[in-house]
Structure 1
Amino acid sequence: MCGRYALGLQRAEIRALPGYPNLEIGEWVNEDNFVPRYNIAPNSQAPVIRRRDASSPDLQMQTMRWGIPYGKVHAKNQQAINARSENIMEGAGMWNKYRSSNRCVVVSQGYYEWQIKGKDKLPHFTKHADGKAMLMAGLYHVSDETYLFAIITTSASKSLSWLHDRQPVILTSHDDVTKWLDTSSHAWSAELGKLLQPAEGLTCYQVPKEVGKVGAESPTFVQPVATRKDGIEAMFAKQRTKQEGNKEGIKRKRSLSPVISSLKSEPAGKEDESHETEGKKLKVE
Structure 2
Amino acid sequence: MCGRFTVLAPREQVEEAFSVVIDEKNYQENYNVAPGQNVLAIIQNAKSKRAGYLRWGLVPSWAKDEKIGYKMINARSESVHEKPSFRNLLIQKRCLIVADSFYEWQKEGTHKQPKRIQLADRNLFAFAGLWDLWEHENKKIFTCTILTKAANAFMQSIHTRMPIILPKDKEAEWIRPEKMAPETAQQFLQSLEDEEMKAYDVSAYVNAAKHNDAQCIAPLVK
Could you state the TM-score of these two structures normalised by the residue count of structure 1?
0.69
- Given that 1:157 and 1:200 are in contact with CA atoms closer than 8 Å, whether structure 2 keeps it comes out as no
Which residue in the other structure is 1:85 paired with? 77
The residue type paired with residue 41 of structure 1 is A
Which structure dedicates a bigger proportion of its chain to helix? 1
The residue type paired with residue 73 of structure 2 is I
Q: How does 1:201-216 map to 2 (within 5 A)?
A: 201-216=196-211
CA distance in 2, matches of 1:168, 1:77: 17
Which residue in the other structure is 1:41 paired with? 34
Q: Which has the higher contact order (CA 8 A, sep 6+)?
A: 2
- Given that 1:49 and 1:59 are in contact with CA atoms closer than 8 Å, whether structure 2 keeps it comes out as yes
With over 3 angstroms needed to count, the CA separation of the structure-2 counterparts of 1:219 and 1:41, relative to structure 1, is: same
Tell me whether 211-220 or 8-17 shows the greater mean CA deviation: 8-17
Which residue in the other structure is 1:103 paired with? 94
Deviations 1:210-260 (A, max 9, x none): 0001110222322422xxxxx13xxxxxxxxxxxxxxxxxxxxxxxxxxxx
CA distance in 1, matches of 2:177, 2:183: 11
Which residue in the other structure is 2:126 paired with? 135
RMSD between aligned alpha carbons? 2.1
Cα distance, 1:6 vs structure 2: 0.5
Q: Percent identity?
A: 25
- Given that 2:95 and 2:130 are in contact with CA atoms closer than 8 Å, whether structure 1 keeps it comes out as yes
Cα distance, 1:44 vs structure 2: 0.7
Cα distance, 1:151 vs structure 2: 0.4
Which residue in the other structure is 2:56 paired with? 66
Which residue in the other structure is 1:282 paired with? none
Cα distance, 1:192 vs structure 2: 5.5
Which residue in the other structure is 2:173 paired with? 179
CA distance in 2, matches of 1:155, 1:40: 22
**Structure 2 alignment gaps of length 5 or more:** none
Cα distance, 1:189 vs structure 2: 4.9
CA distance in 1, matches of 2:174, 2:69: 29
Could you state the TM-score of these two structures normalised by the residue count of structure 2?
0.87
